[in-house]
Amino acid sequence: MAIGPVLWLGPLLLVSLWGSSAPASLLRRLGEHIQRFQGSSGLGLSLDPGGVALPKEGWLEQPLDPFNASNRRSFLQRYWVNDQHWTSQDGPVFLHLGGEGSLGPGSVMRGHPATLAPVWGALVIGLEHRFYGLSIPAEGLDVAQLRFLSSRHALADVVSARLALSRLFNVSFSSPWLCFGGSYAGSLAAWARLKFPHLIFASVASSAPVRAILDFSEYNDVVSRSLMNTAIGGSLECRAAASAAFAEVERRLRAGRSAQAALRAELGACGSLGRAADQAELLGALQALVGGAVQYDGQAGAPLSVRQLCGLLLGDRDNCSSPAPYCGLRRAVQVVTHSLGQKCLSFSRAETVAQLKVTETQVAGVGDRQWLYQTCTEFGYYVTCEVPGCPFSQLPALPSQLELCEQVFGFSAASIAQAVSQTNSYYGGQTPGATQVLFVNGDVDPWHVLSITQPLGPSESALLIPNASHCLDMAPERPSDSPSLRLARQNIFQQLQTWLGPAKKSQVRGGV
């Protein structure tokens, strides 16, 4: 359980939940790009001016199978500690939960836990999720190992980590533990309070999609509405242009090999476009590009906002001889791939499957295989565009996304549907019945439709922030933040006052 200081003030966890095909991979990399930008910019750090107190990295030995005492296998789980504001052993502990990606020291240096810690003299701890980042069991990522990867296993880790860290840091038995998390980790924060109310005093769950769903067509419903939202730079014309651009891409895919070859060059499709499955990968990646502009709208480091995307789709063709919306989509691809440092927007289906089958941890990427496994065995979250009125392509359709689970892991479509249903039965979906949980969402974020946006009772609170994107409340504060976002952060502070009592200092550091 050794701990030591580190120098890299890494970013908060902000990756996409969308499954792990090529389109989903693009959204994940957009989220990671935003993380890195916000981490390297130093935004929102609340460090003492007299000397930087660096976070400490530590490791917990955790049972690989917490539900079977006879299984003695274990793994090392990484955590981060910021104790610079901890004033007494009976002060609160703010536990920032990691989700489907690496969790860096920024998890204890910015965001709600770090910003609010000086106010209540809290100890801040960040706990990386099992099987992600550096908390991957040594035996690798084959299916026999991945059966120990689930939200239930992650919650068991929270329980054992709370007990072990209480002993390690001599935390008082009376100290309240509060969980914080965003996206999937936001769901974990809510579920930790739901399942272990005797251990977790309260939780703040940002952009938490607590309802599992197989066919997530509602994602693109929100994207479509957001492209028409004038408050963030959208318009009816923008949505129409997006639809026209996708129609042009599909027309060219049907036009034969020469047109397909031109598409490959213009839209960054690596691999043949002759097969329907490969075409679906490209169309899905283009949907993810547009969806990403909405999902991360207005966030520091995002390559494209809705306003910028609409500007491209409705702009002049310049030297482009194709219809203007297609030219704008082509320029949007160039902006995003350049920002991410990627040559390719999409790959062939065969290459996607081959990459997802890799089980060695050193070449397993950023968690794509692990997250696909969790969507196949717990959550679904497969984004589709098959309902009337969806402005994009109907590809990739749901069956092809479910087939990925079969190709990579051998799971049937029926088993995935059953797993989604069991997840909602176990946690309660959008009526979990958890007390002392604050759900925070933005109405621009496509994931808010799977979360809780209205209070369910006096102790089940919810905030819905107008014109805010995914986990925006967790992002470092900026002068350009809207009044509604500032008010939401103030409401979060007031909710903690209700739970914890009056603040120990008169003002919240960082302007919350």
So which residues are the catalytic ones? 183, 445, 470
Beta strands in 98-228 (DSSP E): 123-127, 177-182, 202-206, 213-215
Backbone angles phi, psi at 432, to 5 degrees: -70, -25
Cβ pair 174, 160 in contact under 8 A: no
Residue 433 tokens, joined: 């019945």
Nearest to 177 by CA among 197, 152, 205, 206: 197
Number of H helices, E strands in the chain: 16, 11
Peptide bond into 118 cis (omega under 30): no
Q: Is the dihedral of CA 199, 194, 471, 104 positive or negative?
A: positive
Three-state SS string over 224-260 comes to: HHHHCCHHHCCCHHHHHHHHHHHHHHHHHHCCCHHHH
Nearest to 290 by CA among 337, 223, 353: 223
Nearest to 126 by CA among 137, 110, 138, 150: 110
